[in-house]
Structure 1
Amino acid sequence: MKPTAKQVAHEAGVSISAVSRAFSPGSSIDPGKKQRILRVAAQLGYVSPARRTAEVLSAGTVTLVAGDLANPFYPLVLDTLAKALQAIGRQLLVYTIPPGTDMDQLTPQILAARPNALVVTSASLTSGMAQACRQHGIRVVLLNRIQRDVRVNAVACDNHAGGRDAATFLIARERRRIGFIGGIADTSTHRDRIAGFRETLQEGGQAIFAERSGGYTYRGGYTAAQAMLSGRQRPDALFCCNDIMALAAIDAAREMGLSTPDDLSIIGFDDIPMAGWTSYRLTTIRQPITRMINEVVGLIEAGATVPVDETTTSILPGKLMIRGSA
């Protein structure tokens, strides 16, 4: 038989209502009496109804931390993940943090919610946060990024191969002044995409003609493209580190009287819904979102049988989607 509030009240020498108040945040109760009730409850192994409910809810909860929901790619990821978790009876709790910041500020809130798993996308996970999650038995999965300095699960598109595919395509179209608009330099998506891109250009006897950072934003991509296309010798092709910057580059080129792909070939990365719009028809690298989410859910579901400190990294191939911009 589980200990009851009546037993706690009897052992602590208080009323049942006092036991209820002791476990209710903000309730009026003498601090000494509350401490005595909590001590007796711990000795008996009593769990309040509110805590039992919270434990039931947290057992099926997955927390997502994102740092860039302004990028249309991540709401698409969020929608796909939420539907996949709902299909298996789990709930999704979402936190957002400013792009480029780490998650340590959220540690108390995440640990207090006691989620079954933590999914991190477009945000930086510190080793301290990863260790805290391991200590509390919370499985951590990085989505669309890899951090080799922390021991956690990761699921990502093959960004290196995607960069190679973009360069191969542009070289085959005899583009000779190929520029690159990057994202945030210390992210794995930026590093891997530019590494594959640069390697393939070098193998073809070329180098990156011009390079600027767009910070993964529309405004940043527009400004970078405008600056690159205003020079005396402009690029004849651009590979952008994500689609939203590629769409901005198309807009900047149009305002300068340039046409795609005749004057300028443009390739993006992600394949967000807007990439297929007739006003853009963006050639891009499609990330396998459904497969990536299935991998994430599989890692979460394996948590019941796989130790939390046993981790895997899954790299899934993207696909070059050829449209009208290149």
Structure 2
Amino acid sequence: MANDTPSKVTSLDVARLAGVSQSAVSRVFTPGASASKRTVEKVRKAAEELGYRPNILARAMITGKSRIIGLVVAYLDNYFYPLAVERLSVELQKQGYHVLVFMASNTVGDVETVMQEILDYQVDGIVLASVSMSSVLAARCDDLGIPVVLFNRTQPDTRLASVTTDNVEGGRQIAHHLIAGGAQRVGYIAGFEGASTQIDREAGFLKGLAEAGASLQDRGVGNFLHDQARAAALEMFAGRDRPDAVFVCNDHMAFAVMDVLRGKLGLDVPGDVAVAGFDDVPISAWAAYDLTSFRQPLNAMVAATVETLMERIADDAVMPRKHKLSGQLIARGSTHPAKDTP
């Protein structure tokens, strides 16, 4: 009985049809390798005619380079991260890399499992967006020569590069803005307690309040989750002695808080409660929210992440750097402008 299974097309078949060497075919399909325009045209035409597709994983086993970057993210329901994933992917693709996106939670066990999957793909580098890494995993990646960049997170581990906004300064500026607008009873709704972004934003906020001669009246925890932020807002604002201003650790939670204030409790924003968030995602500017927020410089963060990753892939002797970029307070209608001083 005849075997009807078609034979697999190889790079040698493409080379014969195009009239070039097998190494020329390899160069055409290797990002960053040089080949003349005429050679590229002949090889691409022959490959299309034969239905040839290069085996990226097989090439990785030969060259030791997969041209794959593993991107781990935990909060895709937060509008900041889909934008970040899109822009990181585009910029890495411009550098000739493919991006594999993995979802993880902030639990140590889940991150460990996801990291093992990533390492199985023999990635050339890893970007962790919104998740942290254990010292054991950091050591393993370092031993394997796989550079890791934390995006919108930082850790003291010197083996890990990181790119963040100056979260402390952002929290500080928000505190000054709320007090300057006349706030007297100030609340804060925290994100995930173990996240460096949460820790730094709250530290900056408390510092700013102290500088303005004020203190925190009430604190809730939303864990960066919509439902938990709603619950925290209901608890914080249901009483008579409620705060007249609140800083919510990110915009995703701030939207939930504003919905509770206006839709559930019948309060006016900012008449009864001024609300500020952090990130300045596009929806913050929508008329439905008009949210005052501290803008993270997303494009600059992406550029620094890709630059750092490429540097370390090219030369593993390059020391990991921790970038802290300046953000900008964007004042909108959810807070009061500064009151005139006598």
TM-score range, shorter chain: 0.7 to 0.9
Question: Which residue is equivalent to 1:131?
Answer: 139
Cα distance in 2 between the residues matched to 1:301 and 1:55: 21
Please report how far the alpha carbon of residue 58 of structure 1 lies from its aligned counterpart in structure 2 after TM superposition.
4.6
Letter in 1 for 2:274: S
Q: Could you tell me how far 1:50 is from its partner in structure 2?
A: 6.1
- Native 8 Å contact 2:56 2:66 kept in 1: no
Q: Is contact 2:292-2:334 (8 Å) kept?
A: yes
SS in 1 for 2:136: helix
Given that 1:160 and 1:192 are in contact with CA atoms closer than 8 Å, whether structure 2 keeps it comes out as yes
TM-score by length of 1: 0.81
Tell me, yes or no, if structure 1 residue 161 matches structure 2 residue 175: no
- Which deviates more, 153-162 or 53-62? 53-62
Contact 1:266/1:282, CA 8 A, preserved across alignment: yes
Equivalence map 1:5-44=2 (5 Å): none
Output one character per residue of 1:75-128: Cα deviation in whole Å (capped at 9) or x when no partner. 111011011112222111111112344521133322221111100011120111
3-state SS in 2 of match to 1:63: strand
Please give the per-residue CA displacement for 1:194-240, whole angstroms capped at 9, x wherever unaligned: 00100111122211110000111111111111111111201000100
Select between 191-200 and 79-88 the one with higher mean Cα deviation. 79-88
Q: When the two structures are aligned, how many residues end up with a matched partner?
A: 279
Q: 1:314 to 1:224 in 2, by over 3 A?
A: same
- Paired AA for residue 222 in structure 1: R
Match of 2:326 in 1: 317
| 1:198 matched to 2:206 | yes
**Contact 2:276-2:293 within 8 A present in 1 as well:** yes
From 135, 147, 150, the counterpart of 1:142: 150
4+ long deviations beyond 3 Å:
53-59, 99-102
Q: Normalising by structure 2, report the TM-score.
A: 0.78
Contact 2:70 2:101 in 1 (8 A): yes
> Residues of 2 paired with 1:264 and 1:56: CA distance?
60
1:61 has 2:68 as partner: yes
Q: 1:230-309 counterparts in 2 under 5 A?
A: 230-255=238-263, 256-307=265-316
2:15 is aligned to: none
Q: Taking every aligned residue pair, what percent have the same amino acid on both sides?
A: 36
Paired amino acid for 2:69: V
Structure 2 distance, partners of 1:287, 1:58, is 33
Q: Distance in 1 between matches of 2:56 and 2:283?
A: 48
Instruction: After TM superposition, give the deviation of residue 176 of structure 1 in Å.
Output: 0.6
Unaligned runs of 5+ in 2: 1-54, 336-342
- 1:75-224 alignment, distance < 5 Å: 75-102=82-109, 103-149=111-157, 151-224=159-232
Structure 1 residue identity aligned to 2:277: G
1:25-79 deviations in whole A, cap 9, x for unaligned? xxxxxxxxxxxxxxxxxxxxxxx99632555695321111112222221111101
Of the structure 1 ranges 271-280 and 192-201, higher mean CA displacement relative to structure 2 is found in 271-280
Residue 59 of structure 2, aligned match among 52, 55, 69? 52
Distance 1:100 1:319, change over 3 A: farther
Q: CA deviation at 1:183?
A: 0.4
How far is 1:131 from its partner? 1.1
What are the Cα deviations for residues 159-214 of structure 1, in whole angstroms up to 9, with x where unaligned?
Answer: 00000010010111110101000001121011100001001111222111100001
CA RMSD between the two structures: 1.9
* SS state at 2:312 partner: helix
Structure 1 letter corresponding to 2:95 = I
